[in-house]
């Protein structure tokens, strides 16, 4: 049973175990249909001095395609994720996630965070902190899974 159904839920994915745990949680507990779930991964911009850029062997499009394939592979062809909306962006992670969520009129963002040194608060300046402060919709922040 979906205890907090939303029309559009976004989970930023950084390829960590934690982000995939939250993607599974979102699919199981927050959406009625997988088409309501969006995964976004943000790649850093490449410097003009990068060899792949200089030799024109690496493009933003090829990077996006490779990241999308890698994300699908990590989902291990799980039928549960068939129809999942995958967005690959390039730039500042906080800004890109916020812009994407505004663009699709997201109802909820699910994110995890690493334990900071004191184990109590998110450290200021993290991507999670920026998204929580600027987002137009609610952001559920989950602590790291404890074993």
Q: Give, for all 147 residues of the chain, the pLDDT tens digit.
A: 555 666 899 999 999 999 999 999 999 989 989 999 999 999 999 888 888 778 888 899 999 999 999 999 999 878 899 999 999 999 999 999 999 999 999 999 999 876 555 444 445 558 888 999 999 999 999 988 754
Classify residue 131 as exposed, middle or buried by CB count within 10 Å of its CB (0-12, 13-18, 19+).
buried
Check: pTM over 0.95? Answer yes or no.
no
Predicted pLDDT of residue 146: 55
Q: Does domain 7-146 have CATH number 3.40.50.620?
A: yes
70: left (phi over 0), alpha (psi -120 to 50) or beta: alpha
Q: Which two tokens stand for residue 99?
A: 């812009």
**Token couple for 11:** 């989970």
> Taking the chain, what is the end-to-end CA distance rounded to the nearest angstrom?
25
51 in Cβ contact with 23 (< 8 Å)? no
Measure the CA–CA gap between 98 and 84, rounded to whole angstroms.
19
Strands 139-142 and 85-90: unpaired
């Amino acid at each position: 049973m979906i205890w907090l159904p939303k029309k559009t839920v976004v989970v930023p994915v950084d390829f960590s175990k934690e982000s995939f745990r939250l993607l599974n949680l979102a699919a199981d507990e927050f959406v009625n249909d997988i088409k309501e779930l969006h995964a976004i991964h943000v790649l850093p911009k490449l410097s003009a001095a990068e060899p792949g850029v200089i030799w024109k062997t690496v493009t933003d499009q090829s990077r996006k395609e490779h990241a999308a394939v890698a994300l699908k592979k990590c989902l291990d062809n799980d039928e549960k994720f068939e129809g999942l909306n995958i967005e690959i962006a390039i730039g500042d992670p906080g800004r890109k996630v916020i812009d994407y969520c505004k663009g699709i009129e997201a109802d909820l963002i699910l994110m995890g965070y690493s334990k900071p040194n004191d184990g109590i608060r998110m450290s200021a300046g993290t991507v999670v902190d920026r998204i929580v402060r600027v987002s137009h919709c609610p952001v559920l922040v989950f602590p790291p899974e404890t074993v």
